[in-house]
Amino acid sequence: MTDPQWQQSPTPYYTPPGYHPSTATPPPPPPPPPRQRNGSPLLWTAVVIALVIGVAVGYVFGDSRHDNKGTATAAATTDDSPSILASAPAEPTDTPTEEPSPTTPNLAPSDFTIKLRVRSKECFGSAGCDLTYQIDPQYNGIEDISSGSWEVTYVVRGGQDGPQVNTFTLKDGQASFDDSESIQTTSSGTKLRAKVTSVEVES
């Protein structure tokens, strides 16, 4: 008789209550590995810089074309538009321009001196003498007398009958006076003196 062989029965697994293999939740799948970006950072930087430069060049070129177009349009408008100043005719002036007449300066008596030239002399003792003389006027002023006319009054003193008054004319620098004048003195030694008393501008 052979001895019976003992067989060890398998250890039963622990099954939690309510567990059923068909309703068990499978474990979540592992997360996908991170995607790696294509290209290096230097490549992307170069692309961005190229885009910025392209936009800037396009803006400047477009603005330049816009300005040139505006300038050409303004020039065309200016050339085509009629000028008001050019189209307005000049008004004729029939009235001739009058040149201002030169002003005749006022002269003073002190601007003149008069010398007397005795032409003849005849004495009658105590009765006195008869003299014939001629004036020699001299202008000593600073005004221009080359244009204008003046009437100059002078007086001769030393005569027996008192002062003797006469006039001469000064016109355009030339004096016009009497060729001779007569006067009586009380003696042969009497001296005659002449002096200008007034000067008037002749119109």
Q: Give the tokens for residue 88.
A: 């307005």
Q: What percent of the chain has pLDDT over 90?
A: 46
Confidence class of residue 74 from pLDDT cuts 50, 70 and 90? Answer: very low
Cβ atoms of 146 and 173 closer than 8 Å: yes
What pLDDT was estimated at residue 203?
A: 77
Task: Judge whether residue 60 has pLDDT over 60.
Answer: no
Q: What is the pLDDT of residues 80-122, one digit of tens each?
A: 545 544 455 666 666 666 665 668 999 999 999 999 999 999 9
User: Rounded CA gap, 44 and 89, in Å?
Assistant: 71
Range in 75-79, 170-174, 178-182 the model is least confident about: 75-79
User: Rounded CA gap, 199 and 154, in Å?
Assistant: 9
Q: What is the pLDDT of residues 111-155, one digit of tens each?
A: 999 999 999 999 998 889 999 999 999 999 999 999 999 999 999
User: Rounded CA gap, 194 and 111, in Å?
Assistant: 14
Lookup result for tokens 């009058």: 98
Q: What is the pLDDT of residues 7-45, one digit of tens each?
A: 544 545 455 555 555 555 555 666 665 555 554 566 667
User: Rounded CA gap, 57 and 98, in Å?
Assistant: 68
User: Rounded CA gap, 196 and 170, in Å?
Assistant: 13
User: Rounded CA gap, 87 and 82, in Å?
Assistant: 7
pTM assigned to the model = 0.51
